[in-house]
Structure 1
Amino acid sequence: MNEPSYAQQNEEFTTEEISADEEDGVVRRLRFTGNRNASNRALTTLVRTRTNREFLGIRRFTPWYYIWQVFGVGESPSLLNREVVANDIERIKLFYENLGFFEVEVDTSIIEFRENRYEVSFLIREGPESSIRTVSYTGLPELENENLLRNFYRNSVFSGHMLNDSTFSHNSRYRAQQLREEQTRIINFLKNEGFASVVRDSVRALLRRDSDDPTTIDVLFAIRPGDIYTFGDIQINLSGPEGGDEFDESETKEGPPHALEGYAIRMQKQNKAQTHFDLLTEQIHFKPGDTFDQSAYLRSINSFQNLGNVLINRFGLSEDSSLPDFSESVIPVYFDLQTIPKHSLRAEFFGMRRYGFGTGAGANYTNNNVFGMAENLNFGLNTSFEFVSSRTLSEIAPRDTTGRRTSSGAAIFQSYEVRAEYSVPRLNFPFTFLTGSRFVESARTRYTLTYSQSNQLFFDINSDIRFNLRYEFRHSSRYTSLFDLLELDIVDTNPSDQFRQNLINEFGEGSFEFLRIEQDFNPQFSSIIRYTFRSQNTHLIKRDFGHFAEFSLSLAGNIPYAIDRYISNPGEIEGSLPSPFGLSSNDLSYSRFIKFSSDYRRYIPLTQNSVLAFRAFGGIAQPIGDSETIPLNRRFFAGGSNDIRGWNPFRLGPGAISPDDLSIPGGEIKLAFFKEYRTIFLRDVFNAQWFLAWHTDAGNVWYGPRNTFRDEDDVELLRDGKFFLDSFYKQLAVGSGFGIRLDWEFIVFRFDLTYRVHDLQEGWLENRLPYFSFGIGHSF
């Protein structure tokens, strides 16, 4: 006797014929029942039958659909398509079978609860869940290196207790995804050991159910590795920017050290390529005649891609890009490359907002291949102008006799930067020995020299000269290390006229307090050695999945300290150095300090159209030795469109100190937390996706424990700005609001309106003024 279907057992649902052809109704409700081992969210993402997008997850609140009904723009109705529903049944079944529910049953109920308004329900009976008891391997080739076999088992997805030399005891849930991952791992392992002909059919997972308990499965990976192959000759063709099949020069490198005996690297190029043959051979991570190694082959491809001056038009293991000829034991390798134009000139115009609204322009010249070895030379010039209103300037203006702050009017802040950078796609001294290391997928050495001037609210940077020597190590597509071996910086600043007059009025010119604050604006000489580790698996423009993390540790001031102690005035430490080349009439002060910062960002897709983003930032800078302060341009600051919105740049903190009473800007400790929810509400308007965003930012900066500033009566003047474990959380400024994102494929425009939820001077929900901010790209 046939057992009734699951839908028939649930008489409250009316199952209709899937083959009916009605597509004029709107899907307003989508339900899943019986799904104990799969979340509604997972199944909603899986199926193609959907309701219109709900705002903030509020059931059936679909404002974009309502806008479409009234104005004809927004989101069109999500119509019922019974063929799609039928396909969704198969998707759900396959989903459950991949989770080990091989007896799953799925049916549907489609109810018209109002005219042309439908509820679609998927009725699921999961059945018993299967588990994997053991995982075994058979057919593995004999390997000369026993460590390879041990590593093979150690790196297994199912590694654990071994029952014998080829069987693991697993005793865990069945997951088809794990079997696929293990299959891919086995294939890659074999290809890296010379078995180039291995394909997916060469590695099969055979399942055997227990006769007494059918939900218990033993897995056997049956492996047919095939023959071992070797790399044949390498053929590299390099054309100029205009391409073509005719070449002007050729060179062949036969035998050691570039190839084994009887093998060769053959190259030909056009004169317009302006590239040395040695550059091409440096990118090859294997030798013709070596045993085939897929990882070395892929690393060679990545090396060409990372040069920066060539494009890969074709690569392969056959001359016509077809499948390799596995009837021969030798596999030749082919690369067809093309150089990009050597010279390029780019101009750009941009908008900005720091203290007011401004605009700027820049020009960059690039030589992509200076000496024929993929060296890159770049010269850049950027300048900007920013209108700052009298209201903003009045925040730091001197008080009049009535105690009110008055400003002489608006101002134009100007800044410019000249930059020169020379980089090579390899590691120079002292890290040359790491070239070709397995943990370095690609590398680059950069030499950068910049000169800049700018106006700030509290101070002006008269000149900032910086030299940086950086080594970049790309470990994988996810992990990168940046090592700044040498960064030298000479910065000459002075307080803005209004800020200086305000300090004189408050403390008196020549007072102890005024002279102490003025030290912050003395010319500074700093040296830094810094290591940064970065992990990322997100799209750097879209930022709609994955994460971004960066950790940085810096040690500063040791070079000027050594000059002061051993060269400038041997035996004595003065804490300052004479200005080199007459760059400043004042001596250069310096500070020794250590600085650490961490920045973690997480992007969680909630639906196909919305994402929830989080960011946490923490940093601390601590003077060491006889130093007591951190240089002004090395401190932490808070506020701005890319930081804690609702406050202008540099206008938040330290601690609970009011901007009106601020005497020493910046802090040595910073904590910040950010949240942003983004959802699409308009599609393809001006070729952009329009996002509505709700953001909340919180944080502040504080003075560190060694930053002391006492007046002549030994009263601590910075206490309200210092970090104390029992009170810092009360000094977290909070801003929240809404914004719009215009997302093109290559750029994002951002507009935000923020309210100060917690204004440190006025309290919680007391400041009702909105603060507008504009930015390019997502704020984090």
Structure 2
Amino acid sequence: MKKISTKIAAFILIAILICACNAVKRVPDGKLLLTKNEISANNKSVKDENVFDQLYQKPNSTFLGYRLRLNLYNLANLKADSTYQAKFTNNPGKFERKSKWLSVKQVNRLGKSFWYYGIHEFLKKTGEPPVIVDKERTDKSLLRLKYYYFNNGYFNVAAAYKIDTLSIKKAKVNYEITPGNPYFLDSIKSNILTPVLDSLYQTIASNTFIKSGNQYKTDDFENEKNRITNHFRNHGVYYFQPNYVTFDIDTINKVNLANINLLVGNYSFQDGDSTRTEPFKIYKIIDVNIYTDYSPSSNMMNITDSTTYKNFNLYSQGKLKYKPRAITNAIFITKGGLYADNKTVLTTRYLNNLKIFNYPSIQYEVDKRDTTAQSLIAKVYLTPRKKYSFGTTLDVTHSNIQDFGIGLSVSETIRNVFNGAETLEIAARGNIGSSKDLANPKDNFFNVVEYGLDLKLNIPRILMPFNTDKIIAKSMIPSTLITAGFAKQRNIGLDKENFTGALSYNWTPKINHTARFDLFNIQFVKNLNPKNYFNVYGSSYDALNELSKEYNTNPSYYNNPLDKDLLIEKGTLGFTDDVLTGNANFLKPIDPADFQAVKSIDERRLRLTENDFILATSFTFSKTTKKDLSDNNFYLFRTKLESAGTLLTAFAKTTNQTKNFSGNYEIFNLEYSEYIKTEFDYIKHWDLSKEKIFAFRSFFGIAIPFGNSNNIPFSRSYFAGGSNDNRAWQPYSLGPGSSGALNDFNEANMKIAISGEFRFKLLGSLKGAVFADAGNIWNVLDNVVDVNSTFTSFSDLKNIALGTGFGIRYDLSFFVIRFDLGFKTYNPANEIDKRWFREYNLANSVLNFGINYPF
């Protein structure tokens, strides 16, 4: 209690110090602290962030209206070194006394300690120096404002500013803009001196950014210039550059109207000491030369091996190590074709995607053999990566199963393994972790163990017995991925072995579109310790144990006559079998509801302990508008359709296989899973400026068993709760429906999730967020009959749970560390009149730790 009181007192003291800070403490005499910028246009206040972005000077940042970073800076001693030394200069005896029980070196080093020096450096780096009103920067801001309005068609803009002193050493700057009336585009004409370019332009003229009636915007002219340049350079005009496109803007004798004349001159080049001009030429590719083992560090190339394949010339300084097709498939520059920038970019992208070369270099030179000087030789320089590379990674992990984990993996990558640009990766991994939810009678901290071996073979083409180029063109950068893996784990007490294998095809139909087709995806899950089920799933054991005390008469099922707790596994299985078969005497007749409860417990035990064999085929498609990592204004859509067991059933019926006693087909003496599953995931981010972002996510998934199955395997089912889901609930602790998560590791076969999160900057790399998460899981069309857990109609949407809360994030640039505190706002497991805000308190809150953003 004493420690807590001390912490509270320290917190209050720091708060008082910060609040008591004088904001103008470090503002020099005669200077003014900038507290606010105001912009008005035609005497109306402007709120547009694009306009405020033109200003060179902006006030110090605030947190909830308070200049926290400024005041942190003001708390710092800017001359901590000299202050420390002054203590001894003014009192020499003090230095001698300290040096007696500390050495002279230690006394000097004390000045660099955190208390004397480090804390002030921290305050300076975390804080912000005061923003002083600067006339030169204010003048530049005014000029940029005028340019901004001019570039948006206000050619007669006038601007002024005035500095208003608010109090001692504080001021705001008022920018007053008088834009006048904007100019609009009137007639649009073009004058292109090279006839062949004029013909090319006419094919795209209708898609121009510059249209009669539009308000003048400089950006439209830049976009049009780039559009024309791209079109010309993609149709053979090798020497064309954006500076050849100019615009004549005529406003003479016009009232807020401008006539536009698009001008494209002839090609200008240096010929000796003089400059010449001539019409632009269309260039064709006469040869494509590929140098497969180019070394940038060497100026000489000693070619000893070469071959020609489909009009491509391949050269090597040693023996050619690649099958020609493997390289030429990645080259989109073709002999006899026109020069095109987009083909160069696509070739570079494909070659880079092979991951067997360093970034390729593609150069063009005019063929001196062509007297018309309209032929180019394309030279592709490839620098191979090392054939073998070894890698290790050490990870600290947090997941829905593990509270804490340490993972080590080692891998060996072999490039061009079959001389067809294939890449083979062999990886071994191991992981130890801790889980408080794991059945752990010995109370070991590291109670999760996993190790495995994975093989991945990537082939840079569609591996099929027939040609697929007409279906999936090579411009879509297709590839085939063959994977196989084995893993053994002890994570939820049943101790599993997991065998996986897949044959997948990947391609990109368009930029920012991806498609994946898994011809087959095999998973075999073997439970090594099914007898431990009731030790792991304690809620199931408790429910069964309570029922046994009402009905059981067999003393051999109990641990002792006094407690009468069922033995695991003799008692649990014995009592369950007695109830379901009716071959026993009971203390009283079995109530139908209790019979159904025992049946449900046993069905869940069988489902979660049985070995699973899944043979699935799936198709996944995703589309995003995200341009790069810094893009915060985008959307992502992903959908997946998966079918499992259908091929096996078709084969069984065709070959007249017999069913087992349960009426199901088997493979390797094991009932295989049969279901169809579909998912839809949509994420949208809005950039609200000033590092404020609103992020939204919606997810719907459903898996329907049929034929050989009446339930979905645990590995293919859905759960709710956790750091990447509804953050007001722990993983697996929400749902299904309004059942109240009666079981351990609750899961179901349908899920709805909707989340919204507002993200904002706090201090430097420290970010904040407020969020709302809604959703739940349900059983539908499977063997679960509990009405509280099943989805039967749209009225069950009333059981969607709502969690709200706030969080902090620390951006380390390569990943984000995240803490979220979620509160149960609407809990469908409670009685109808007690669902809203009854658990909205710290006692029922959930603290989540995560890596990177939840969506």
Quick check: TM above 0.5? yes
The aligned counterpart of 1:774 is 849
The aligned counterpart of 1:67 is 72
Choose which of 311, 335, 344 in structure 2 pairs with 1:297: 344
SS in 1 for 2:761: strand
- 2:315 pairs with 1:267: yes
Does structure 1 retain, via aligned residues, the 8 Å contact 2:289–2:378?
yes
Choose which of 509, 514, 534 in structure 1 pairs with 2:576: 509
The aligned counterpart of 2:144 is 91
Does structure 1 retain, via aligned residues, the 8 Å contact 2:613–2:670?
no
**Structure 1 residue 34: Cα displacement:** 1.3
Letter in 2 for 1:106: A
The aligned counterpart of 2:755 is 673
In the aligned structure 2, how far is the partner of 1:23 from the partner of 1:310? Answer: 62
Does structure 2 retain, via aligned residues, the 8 Å contact 1:460–1:496?
no
Question: Greater share of strand residues, 1 or 2?
Answer: 1
In the aligned structure 2, how far is the partner of 1:658 from the partner of 1:436? Answer: 50
In the aligned structure 1, how far is the partner of 2:31 from the partner of 2:421? Answer: 60
In the aligned structure 2, how far is the partner of 1:558 from the partner of 1:729? Answer: 35
List aligned pairs for 1:140-159, cutoff 5 A.
152-153=204-205, 155-157=207-209
Choose which of 452, 459, 463 in structure 2 pairs with 1:417: 452
In the aligned structure 1, how far is the partner of 2:344 from the partner of 2:438? Answer: 61
Choose which of 640, 651, 656 in structure 1 pairs with 2:738: 656
SS in 2 for 1:606: coil
Choose which of 216, 220, 229 in structure 1 pairs with 2:261: 220
The aligned counterpart of 1:41 is 49
List aligned pairs for 1:90-169, cutoff 5 A.
90-139=143-192, 152-153=204-205, 155-157=207-209
- 2:224 pairs with 1:182: yes
The aligned counterpart of 1:30 is 37
In the aligned structure 2, how far is the partner of 1:434 from the partner of 1:177? Answer: 40
Does structure 2 retain, via aligned residues, the 8 Å contact 1:241–1:341?
no
Q: Deviations over 1:97-149 (max 9, x none)?
A: 22222222222222232333221222111211222345444438767999x87
Instruction: Pick the structure with greater CA Rg.
Output: 2
The aligned counterpart of 1:734 is 803
Letter in 2 for 1:756: K
Structure 1 residues 556, 204: CA separation in 2 closer, same or farther (over 3 Å shift)? farther
Q: Deviations over 1:166-218 (max 9, x none)?
A: xxx6433333222222221221112222122222232223334484x522334
In the aligned structure 2, how far is the partner of 1:433 from the partner of 1:136? Answer: 46
Select between 366-375 and 759-768 the one with higher mean Cα deviation.
Answer: 759-768
SS in 2 for 1:445: strand
SS in 2 for 1:100: coil
Letter in 1 for 2:327: L
Q: Deviations over 1:338-392 (max 9, x none)?
A: 2222222222222223352232222222113212332111122233222223xx4
**Structure 1 residue 310: Cα displacement:** 0.8
SS in 2 for 1:381: strand
Select between 238-247 and 632-641 the one with higher mean Cα deviation.
Answer: 238-247
Structure 1 residues 137, 538: CA separation in 2 closer, same or farther (over 3 Å shift)? same
Q: Deviations over 1:426-481 (max 9, x none)?
A: 22226843389668342221111122344455x74622222222222124442222
In the aligned structure 1, how far is the partner of 2:187 from the partner of 2:295? Answer: 57
Choose which of 486, 490, 496 in structure 1 pairs with 2:520: 486
Letter in 2 for 1:707: D
Select between 218-227 and 649-658 the one with higher mean Cα deviation.
Answer: 218-227
Structure 1 residues 737, 242: CA separation in 2 closer, same or farther (over 3 Å shift)? same
Does structure 1 retain, via aligned residues, the 8 Å contact 2:645–2:672?
no
In the aligned structure 2, how far is the partner of 1:46 from the partner of 1:497? Answer: 65
Does structure 1 retain, via aligned residues, the 8 Å contact 2:192–2:198?
no
In the aligned structure 2, how far is the partner of 1:413 from the partner of 1:575? Answer: 37
Structure 1 residues 172, 723: CA separation in 2 closer, same or farther (over 3 Å shift)? farther
How high is the TM-score relative to the length of structure 1? 0.80
Choose which of 463, 481, 487 in structure 1 pairs with 2:497: 463
Choose which of 241, 257, 264 in structure 2 pairs with 1:199: 241
Letter in 1 for 2:536: Q
**Structure 1 residue 421: Cα displacement:** 0.6
In the aligned structure 1, how far is the partner of 2:433 from the partner of 2:154? Answer: 63
Does structure 2 retain, via aligned residues, the 8 Å contact 1:22–1:80?
no
Choose which of 753, 766, 771 in structure 2 pairs with 1:691: 766
The aligned counterpart of 2:105 is none
- 2:506 pairs with 1:472: yes
Letter in 1 for 2:38: R
In the aligned structure 2, how far is the partner of 1:594 from the partner of 1:130? Answer: 57
**Structure 1 residue 662: Cα displacement:** 6.0
In the aligned structure 1, how far is the partner of 2:29 from the partner of 2:247? Answer: 43
In the aligned structure 1, how far is the partner of 2:265 from the partner of 2:225? Answer: 12
The aligned counterpart of 2:24 is none
In the aligned structure 1, how far is the partner of 2:700 from the partner of 2:155? Answer: 48
Structure 1 residues 187, 234: CA separation in 2 closer, same or farther (over 3 Å shift)? same
SS in 2 for 1:88: helix
**Structure 1 residue 497: Cα displacement:** 2.9
Structure 1 residues 343, 252: CA separation in 2 closer, same or farther (over 3 Å shift)? closer
5+ residue gaps, structure 1: 1-20, 159-168, 260-264, 320-324, 398-406, 581-585, 683-689, 711-716
Identity in percent: 17
In the aligned structure 2, how far is the partner of 1:430 from the partner of 1:23? Answer: 83
Q: Deviations over 1:72-98 (max 9, x none)?
A: 342313333332222222222222222
In the aligned structure 1, how far is the partner of 2:688 from the partner of 2:460? Answer: 36
Letter in 1 for 2:645: G
Structure 1 residues 199, 704: CA separation in 2 closer, same or farther (over 3 Å shift)? same
Q: Deviations over 1:731-765 (max 9, x none)?
A: 32314122231323x33333334443444556444
Does structure 2 retain, via aligned residues, the 8 Å contact 1:655–1:700?
no
The aligned counterpart of 2:649 is 561
Question: Greater share of helix residues, 1 or 2?
Answer: 2
The aligned counterpart of 1:12 is none
SS in 1 for 2:348: helix
**Structure 1 residue 258: Cα displacement:** 0.9
- 2:469 pairs with 1:434: yes
Q: Deviations over 1:675-709 (max 9, x none)?
A: 14141513xxxxxxx22222424133322441353
Does structure 2 retain, via aligned residues, the 8 Å contact 1:553–1:597?
no
In the aligned structure 1, how far is the partner of 2:661 from the partner of 2:683? Answer: 40
The aligned counterpart of 1:322 is none
Counting matched residue pairs gives 699
- 2:778 pairs with 1:703: yes
The aligned counterpart of 2:638 is 550
Does structure 2 retain, via aligned residues, the 8 Å contact 1:250–1:266?
no
The aligned counterpart of 1:237 is 291
In the aligned structure 2, how far is the partner of 1:738 from the partner of 1:664? Answer: 26
- 2:542 pairs with 1:534: no
Q: Deviations over 1:293-313 (max 9, x none)?
A: 222222222222221111136
Does structure 1 retain, via aligned residues, the 8 Å contact 2:314–2:324?
no
**Structure 1 residue 284: Cα displacement:** 1.9
The aligned counterpart of 2:819 is 751
Letter in 1 for 2:651: I
Structure 1 residues 154, 753: CA separation in 2 closer, same or farther (over 3 Å shift)? same
In the aligned structure 1, how far is the partner of 2:622 from the partner of 2:615? Answer: 22
In the aligned structure 2, how far is the partner of 1:760 from the partner of 1:543? Answer: 37
In the aligned structure 2, how far is the partner of 1:664 from the partner of 1:96? Answer: 59
Does structure 2 retain, via aligned residues, the 8 Å contact 1:377–1:420?
yes
In the aligned structure 2, how far is the partner of 1:220 from the partner of 1:729? Answer: 63
In the aligned structure 2, how far is the partner of 1:171 from the partner of 1:306? Answer: 45
